[in-house]
Chains A and B, each alone.
Chain A
Amino acid sequence: MDEMDDNLTESAPAAGARATVTPAAGGAEVVARDVDLFYGDHQALFDVSLDMPANKVTALIGPSGCGKSTFLRCINRMNDRIAGCRHTGSITLDGQDVDTQIDEYLLRTRVGMVFQRPNPFPLSIFDNVAYGPRRHGKPSREALRQTVQRCLERVGLWDEVKDDLKKSGLGLSGGQQQRLCIARTLAVDPQVLLMDEPTSALDPISTSLVEDLMSDLASDHTVIVVTHNMQQATRVSDYTAFFYMGKLVETAPTTELFSRPKEKQTEDYLTGRFS
């Protein structure tokens, strides 16, 4: 074990680690155009058009049930498996239509997702992170080790778990599990990270660790985060989009939206005048 650590710290993680999957040249721009979405007869999104620029954090806010998660799931096509769910309009990733021009399973390696409840696989910490690279390529053992270390370091978990890589991921604390899930997603070098209320099940310290991580990840990923926490949106995001009853009401750079909302509905929501 020790020997392995030495090897890892000496060789720069960048070179071999990325060899497993095509290197991502940073984030990709995600653009939604005229998206109408239906669950059976129930329309959940109305004509949503939104630009989510590359290498920025876009926050989606709005009251419960307004369609934030639904919109997020369109981007990695997790809605496909919900019976009766269909949408019109288009969502593109660097100009490629996610529904027609990219394979469903490949799409999900380019667009990673982090959930509200941490959901590590019932595997060891190492295997959790190594899962994606193994599944989507044939990495050498050494490359795999480096990927795992690089991803765990990126999420600030390496020092906490480097001696316990063989232990089950489910034995970690909630906050550690969530960072492990982020590391697992990073291991396949996604361009876009979708996060659906990633901190709402975490304690304040873990929350702030994950928030810092979001800002850091935005340097080479497009981060799209759903949050119910207004402070969090102002702390981490560059752009904010306000949804209400399935419609995109307003979108603007975060500081602008919070200080000078243009729409009355946005202002009411931000000042807590309705919920």
Chain B
Amino acid sequence: MTRSDKAATNAADAAPRAGAQTGATRAASAMDADTAASMARRARRSDHVATGVLAVLVGVVCLLTVAMVVYILASGGTKMLDWSFLTSNPSDGGIGPEIFNSFYLLFLTLLISLPLSLGAAIFLTQYAPSGPVTTCIKTIIEVLSSLPSIVVGLFGFLVFVIKFGWQFSIIAGACALTMFNLPIMVRVIQQALEAVPRGQRDAGLAMGLTRWETTIHVLIPSAIPAIVTGVILSAGRVFGEAAALIYTAGQSAPAIDFTNFDITSASCPWNVFRPAETLAVHIWKLNSESVVTDAAAISAGTAAFLVACILVFNILARIIGRALEKKVTAA
């Protein structure tokens, strides 16, 4: 430690001690000054060590992640930027229908799970009386969030595909994904609502608003930036999910025709009862039962596209979250 460092240390030590004395704590002044100084030095050293160790750990994790993403993007990059690959049918080695299916499935999933989870989170944070029943519900939601996705998928297969007779279909996939997504969304929204300062709620009540009005007009607007960020991030997870879809949305991607508006036909893109393989399922299928010759290249291209989409989701979540935050607090 250099001289100037030491001087800085002493100065930094002196300030809080002076404060403590005026704060009527006599203990600090009673303590031997040398002991205090050496303790401060030791605390400082262990702080440096801890910072160093943590920095290295974080560095390793970051490096691994970045390397993985870069590798995936690099190995499929050229394929990914090929327009015909992105638009043609799987029979021609493309992934056009898979891209549409992934987005459509995501949209349907959010359409079902967003209102459900919003309602559940509002109920749990605002209305549910604290008691055994509420605790039980919260635990169930937590358990649901740690269900392996293949279990969710097989459950969806038994219930939606077989029992309800929906066959392999987008709607069966969307329902399975909702089960998979719901607990996470409920948590995210619950946390966002709980993070709204208590004073805001009091303000609403003191203005003569009912609990419902307070929730809708005060709590939700305050929580909206966090809610939107959470929803987009969970969308990323859903987008990349494969196991829950293999036995629900199915593994075939019939060619779709955007001019077909007969929603009972298998080639109508909006038909929710047609089987629809997504990008992630496509990757899985290519690698497990590839029949095409350049399966590896197609799989790499698909993976690159999938990762790029998820990156975009994450960046969007940040930008939109921050913009909304700014809108709520300033501007």
A binding-site residues for B, Cβ under 8 Å: 76, 78, 81, 83, 105-109, 112-113, 115, 117, 119-123, 131-132, 135-136, 167-168, 170-171, 181, 184-185, 188
Evaluate contact between B217 and A78: CB separation under 8 angstroms. Answer: no
- Which residue in B205, B207, B221, B331 is a CB contact (below 8 Å) of A81? B205
Q: How many inter-chain contacts with C-beta < 8 Å in the A-B complex?
A: 73
A117 vs B206: C-alpha distance in the bound complex, in angstroms? Answer: 14
Number of interface residues of B (CB under 8 A): 23
Q: Which of B28-36, B139-147, B194-202, B293-301 contacts its partner?
A: B194-202
Evaluate contact between B203 and A119: CB separation under 8 angstroms. Answer: yes
Evaluate contact between A170 and B328: CB separation under 8 angstroms. Answer: yes
Evaluate contact between B199 and A119: CB separation under 8 angstroms. Answer: yes
- Answer yes or no: B169 CB below 8 A from chain A CBs: no
Q: Which of B97-105, B152-160, B208-216, B303-311 contacts its partner?
A: B208-216
Q: How far is the CB of B10 from chain A (nearest CB, A)?
A: 32
Given A117-B197, A119-B197, residue A76 in contact with residue B206 (CB < 8 A) = yes
Evaluate contact between A122 and B203: CB separation under 8 angstroms. Answer: no
- Chain A residues with Cβ below 8 Å from B204 are 121
Evaluate contact between A170 and B330: CB separation under 8 angstroms. Answer: yes
A-B pairs with lowest CB-CB distance, top 6: A119-B199, A108-B208, A171-B330, A113-B206, A119-B203, A105-B208
Evaluate contact between B218 and A112: CB separation under 8 angstroms. Answer: no
A120 vs B199: C-alpha distance in the bound complex, in angstroms? Answer: 9
B204's nearest neighbour on chain A, judged by CB, is: A121
With A107-B208, A109-B208, A113-B202 given, can you name 20 additional A-B contacts, CB distance below 8 Å?
A78-B202, A108-B205, A108-B206, A108-B208, A115-B199, A115-B202, A115-B206, A119-B200, A119-B202, A121-B200, A121-B203, A122-B218, A122-B329, A135-B207, A135-B213, A168-B327, A168-B331, A170-B329, A185-B207, A188-B208
Q: How far is the CB of B212 from chain A (nearest CB, A)?
A: 12
A112 vs B218: C-alpha distance in the bound complex, in angstroms? Answer: 18
A264 vs B319: C-alpha distance in the bound complex, in angstroms? Answer: 62
Q: How far is the CB of A145 from chain B (nearest CB, A)?
A: 20
- Chain A residues with Cβ below 8 Å from B205 are 78, 81, 108
- Which residue in A83, A112, A120 is a CB contact (below 8 Å) of B206? A112
Q: How far is the CB of B327 from chain A (nearest CB, A)?
A: 7
Evaluate contact between A117 and B199: CB separation under 8 angstroms. Answer: yes
